[in-house]
Amino acid sequence: NAGVMQNPRHLVRRRGQEARLRCSPMKGHSHVYWYRQLPEEGLKFMVYLQKENIIDESGMPKERFSAEFPKEGPSILRIQQVVRGDSAAYFCASSGDQGTHEQYFGPGTRLTVT
């Protein structure tokens, strides 16, 4: 049973470009969470999605960031017009039942903005 998959593992973008990060949840999971880990900091919640719905986006920056989890395919975190401050590790997690609070994490995508 494959775990949570994220790609790419490493992504380099120049300032002003777009970054698209993908997350495939564990088989049978319908809840997806995105977290950001800045250098020397803990993980910060960004957004929580179920299939085709955004449930909680209280941690998302107001501009340039968006997320989706379509009926078919992976969840996508999209960052438009990246800036150097967006350089971080972005982790995706999934769960099968929100009530258990048990989330399984992917290996992360390390975004570097040059």
Partner 1 sequence: GNSVTQMEGPVTLSEEAFLTINCTYTATGYPSLFWYVQYPGEGLQLLLKATKADDKGSNKGFEATYRKETTSFHLEKGSVQVSDSAVYFCALSPSSNTGKLIFGQGTTLQVKP
State the residues that interact with partner 1 by CB under 8 A. Answer: 4, 6, 31, 33, 35, 41-45, 48, 55-56, 58-59, 91, 93, 95, 98-99, 101-108
Of 41 and 72, the one with the shorter C-beta distance to partner 1 is 41
In this structure, are residues 91 and 35 in contact, taking their beta carbons and an 8 Å threshold?
Answer: yes
CB of 13 to partner 1, least distance (A): 21
Q: Among 9, 32, 14, which residue's Cα sits nearest to residue 86?
A: 14
Of 53 and 83, the one with the shorter C-beta distance to partner 1 is 53
CB of 43 to partner 1, least distance (A): 4
Could you give phi then psi for residue 5, rounded to 5 degrees? -115, 135
CB of 98 to partner 1, least distance (A): 5
The one-letter amino acid code at 1 reads N
Of 15 and 29, the one with the shorter C-beta distance to partner 1 is 29
Q: Among 44, 41, 91, 82, which residue's Cα sits nearest to residue 63?
A: 82
